[in-house]
Amino acid sequence: MPVLSLIACAAGGIHGLRPSLVEPLVRDGWQVAITLTPTAGTWLSGNGEAAALAELTGLAVRWNSRLPGEPRPHPEPDLCAVVPATANAVAKLALGISDNQAMTAANEMIGRPDVPVLAFPCINLAHTRHPAWAGHLAALRAADVNLLVGEDIWPLTTPRKEPGLPWARILQEIRAY
């Protein structure tokens, strides 16, 4: 059973994570090990989604680090997906900042040649106009992160055809590994 390490950040649209991404992947036979940023953990524990995701995947949904000496609660990943990635997380990953469990795990996988990493930045036009944005994308591309960006995936200057995140495209990318 392939293992997907799914890192989810506090971006609008995260409420679609279970029905639109995790349920289809579990049906496909993926083991999905979910780590949330602290803010995403607050959001998804507050509405019962973290518990529902844990029941669905059979694995703990993490947003805190383990204590030294505690075993790792997640299996070794075959693939890592940062979905959704906030502008904040993109900046941290580009710089290697690991100030929470989600960033720690994602940064480690970016540095591991044996674990491919893809990321869907769920961002708005203002995020992309920040002077550091282009450099962050370039740094992640140079590290072989498969960035799901562009008007065809997540339009920023034209109206979106469908509500919610581009789940079908994200699923397609994960299934292609």
Joined together, the tokens standing for residue 81 give 């997906």
User: Is 17 an interacting residue with respect to ligand FMN (CB under 6 A)?
Assistant: no
Choices 4-12, 21-29, 60-68, 151-159; region in contact with ligand FMN by CB under 6 A: 4-12
Of 20, 2, 152, 23, give the one whose Cα is nearest residue 80: 2
Choices 33-41, 53-61, 106-114, 147-155; region in contact with ligand FMN by CB under 6 A: 33-41
Residue 117, classed as helix, strand or coil, is strand
**Computed over its alpha carbons, how large is the radius of gyration of the chain?**
15
| Residue number with CB closer to ligand FMN (31 or 91) | 91
Minimum CB distance to ligand FMN, residue 153 (Å): 14
Sorted by sequence, the CB contacts under 8 Å of residue 104 that are 6+ apart come out as 65, 98
Residue choice 10, 22, 25, 118 for contact with ligand FMN (CB under 6 A): 10
Minimum CB distance to ligand FMN, residue 1 (Å): 28
47: region left, alpha or beta (phi > 0 left; psi from -120 to 50 alpha): alpha
Residues at the interface with ligand FMN (CB under 6 A): 9-12, 37, 39-40, 86-89, 122-123, 127
